[in-house]
Amino acid sequence: MVSRVIPVDEFDLVIFGGTGDLARRKILPGLFRRYLAGQMPRGSRIIGAARTEMDDAGYREMVSEAVAEFGGPEKADATGLADFLAALRYVAIDATGDGGWSDLAALMRDGVVRAFYFSVAPSLFGDLAERLHTYGIADRNSRIVVEKPFGRDLASAKALNDTLAAHFNEGQIYRIDHYLGKETVQNLMAVRFGNVLFEPLWNSHYVDHIQITVAETVGVGGRGAYYDKSGAMRDMVQNHLMQLLCLIAMEPPSVFGADEVRDEKLKVIRALQPVESHHIVRGQYDANGDTPSFRADVENPRSFTESFIAMKVNVSNWRWADTPFYLRTGKKMKGRASEIAVVFKDLGHSIFEGDTARHRNILAIRLQPNEGIDLQVTIKEPGPGGMRLIDVPLDMTFADALGDDAEPATDAYERLIMDVIRGNQTLFMRGDEVEAAWAWTDPLINGWEARNDVPKLYDQGSAGPEDAMMLMHRDGRRWRDVKA
Ligand code: NAP
């Protein structure tokens, strides 16, 4: 295999919250994989920062354990790991106080890219941004990476944007949505804009509807308190599903550049119509024998928060008039599957005698599992006995198609962190996009809160509440199966 790893400039990456769950599960194992891939230039350093008192050796031990627990097959590379650990430093720092900041300032070097990953609670973003400037740690070329949730409504998102804008310009702020770092999501753009086949059909003349599903089998886990205040709309739709919708619906940008792509996504968000209440179905998973219900999981017997949501969304522009987008996401569903399905219209008339089925082409973009793209096409059923038609998938599972030429799987986080070092913002959300998304979301949430809307119960391991099926059935359509 010829390596296609593109080198980046030498960097110092400071991870605030470098001892936390996200750092240990995703960021640090991801950086280790990039190191092994040869993408971390010699001399680059990763500096963990959190309040816990620890020295460099202690931090290296913690990271080594994190790689052992969360790293992929690469964790067996002992020599590589030892070299990677040598690039780690640690500073005990308090985001809200003065302790440790001079130590961090003393560690920073000139002439290398400086990136600061805010892997801490959003309430600390302002403190970090301010102190990075007070202590002269951030220069004009520095980048900051901020994690979701970016606000819980328009007002808080605006406040957060203002806080960051007081110290950094928009070109320095990388708002991460790891869905945008997924290989298939980027492939969606390659397939759409790199082939002559699809773009002419990519509109309401040929597309009947689009389904976006993000189904999880897990419940709220240990995040009950957070999730009860958030729910599926804030946690998944406002960011991840909205971003996927934008990539499907946007007009082709003139070039694949950060502002060009984000300008087009913003236009889509602004073209989203308000959703009528009967086009939204909210659900909560019920208890199942000894397995607790959502309300028990979030320890709130009166919770009205949704663990599932399905909705019919219209984009009011020329391209998508009359082509609805159906979105659905939920926890404790029957399969862990994320996909976007572009369902084309049927032919209207079949020339084949006796053929009464409605044959439809479907372009299904699978985000997980088995990242890949299926194109459902209609062919003749093999064998004698006349012209019988069947629908079959043309499967483009990337790992199969590329064979030995496939790069080892890269996690969305590692890909996005390398984009930060490169200074490429294409796959990050811009401040105005986030605000526009909340401006669309807020009235929907306020609407069901004002109505005291009670989520419908659904069985664990199901496809969600019955009403979600009805949302489609009423329109003569049906959800694709969420495979286990
Ligand atoms: P976490 O496990 O609670 O870790 C928080 C980190 O922040 C710890 O390293 C903690 O270390 C540090 N910290 C807390 N207060 C601090 C202070 N005053 N000064 C300096 N450091 C401080 O949280 P997490 O799950 O890693 O999440 C981090 C961020 O990522 C959050 O915004 C979260 O919403 C977001 N996120 C997480 C995930 C995930 O899968 N975990 C996914 C998406 C987004 P000390 O206690 O030692 O200070």
Residue minimizing CA distance to atom 30 of ligand 1: 119
The CA–CA distances, whole Å, from 482 to 133, 342, 466 equal 48, 16, 14
For the chain, what percent of residues have pLDDT higher than 70?
A: 96
The bridge status of strand 143-146 relative to strand 113-118 is parallel
Over residues 248-294, the pLDDT tens digits come to 999 999 999 999 999 999 999 999 999 999 999 999 999 999 999 99
Exposure string of 165-179, with b = 16+ CB inside 10 Å and e = fewer, is: eebbeeebbbbbbbb
Residue 240 a catalytic site member: yes
Which helix H or strand E contains 362, and what residues bound it?
strand 362-368
* Block residue for tokens 């499967």: 395
Please report the pLDDT score of residue 1 as a whole number.
45
Q: What's the fold here for domain 180-411+430-474? A: Dihydrodipicolinate Reductase; domain 2 (3.30.360)
| Contact indicator for 407, 4 with CB cutoff of 8 Å | yes
Print the SS3 string covering 141-181.
CCEEEECCCCCCCHHHHHHHHHHHHCCCCHHHEEECCHHHH
Check residue 298 and report its DSSP letter. Answer: T
Q: Which two tokens stand for residue 321?
A: 């008039």
Cβ(126) to ligand 1 under 6 A? Answer: no
Task: Report the nearest atom of ligand 1 relative to the CA of 51.
Answer: 48
| Contact indicator for 381, 391 with CB cutoff of 8 Å | no
CA–CA gap between residue 195 and residue 199 (Å, rounded):
7
Nearest 5°: phi and psi at 336? -100, 100
Cβ(19) to ligand 1 under 6 A? Answer: yes
Over residues 298-324, the pLDDT tens digits come to 999 999 999 999 999 999 999 999 999
Instruction: Give 6: exposed, middle or buried? Use CB within 10 Å, 0-12, 13-18, 19+.
Output: exposed
Nearest 5°: phi and psi at 344? -80, 160
Task: Report the nearest atom of ligand 1 relative to the CA of 17.
Answer: 9
Please report the pLDDT score of residue 411 as a whole number.
83
Residue 134 in marked binding region: no
165 C-alpha to ligand 1 centroid (Å): 22
Residue 18 in marked binding region: yes
Question: Domain 11-147's class?
Answer: alpha beta
Please report the pLDDT score of residue 79 as a whole number.
85
16 C-alpha to ligand 1 centroid (Å): 8
CA–CA gap between residue 169 and residue 455 (Å, rounded):
41
* DSSP letters for 404-459: GGSPPP--HHHHHHHHHHHT--TTSB-HHHHHHHHHHHHHHHHHHHHTTPPPEEE-
Q: Which of 348, 321, 241, 232 is closest to 285 using CA atoms?
A: 232
Residue minimizing CA distance to atom 39 of ligand 1: 22
Name the E strands within 277-335: 280-285, 308-313, 325-330
245 C-alpha to ligand 1 centroid (Å): 29
Residue of 167, 209, 240, 279 marked active site:
240
At position 259, the amino acid (one-letter code) is: D
Structural domain spans, the chain: 11-147, 180-411+430-474
331 C-alpha to ligand 1 centroid (Å): 23
CA 139 to chain centre: 29
Taking each helix axis from N to C terminus, what angle separates 78-86 and 56-70, rounded to the nearest 10 degrees? 140
Per run of 10 residues, the mean pLDDT along the chain (length 484 residues) is: 70 98 95 92 96 98 95 80 96 96 96 96 95 94 94 96 96 96 89 93 97 96 93 97 97 96 98 97 95 96 97 98 97 95 92 85 90 89 86 76 60 92 96 98 97 96 97 96 76
How many Å from the N-terminal Cα to the C-terminal Cα in the chain? Answer: 33
Task: Report the nearest atom of ligand 1 relative to the CA of 16.
Answer: 21
Please report the pLDDT score of residue 348 as a whole number.
84
